[in-house]
């Protein structure tokens, strides 16, 4: 329902963030752009536009899951002491 890439493959927008379910051993290393954009994300999250899959002689299956928008954001919240909660 949403575009997979808004930055034309530049690795800057993060809309192509995917979770690698299977086959991460077939993927190249994270690029510098991925390292910056995904620095606090799980190791199996990648930017599809920056990821190289396999080599000419490799075989196997890579299964990815496009992340829901809420998973790609870091939620920030302030903990309120119980004494400050409305009664």
Q: Tens of pLDDT along 24-36? A: 999 999 999 999 9
Residue 1 is predicted with a pLDDT of 47
Q: Tens of pLDDT along 30-54? A: 999 999 999 999 999 999 999 999 8
Say whether pTM exceeds 0.85: no
Residue 87 is predicted with a pLDDT of 67
Q: Where are the beta strands (DSSP E) in 16-72?
A: 17-22, 45-47, 63-66
Cα–Cα distances (Å) from 48 to 6, 55, 76, 85, in that order, read 12, 16, 26, 43
Q: What percent of the chain has pLDDT over 70?
A: 82
């Amino acid at each position: 329902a949403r575009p997979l890439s808004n930055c034309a493959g530049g690795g800057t927008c993060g809309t192509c963030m995917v979770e690698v379910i299977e086959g991460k051993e077939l993927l190249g290393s994270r690029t510098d752009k991925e390292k910056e954009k995904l620095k606090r994300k799980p190791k199996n999250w990648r930017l599809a536009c920056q990821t190289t899959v396999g080599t000419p002689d490799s075989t196997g299956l890579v299964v990815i899951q496009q992340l829901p928008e809420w998973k790609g954001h870091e939620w920030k919240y302030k903990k309120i002491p119980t004494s400050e909660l409305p009664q």
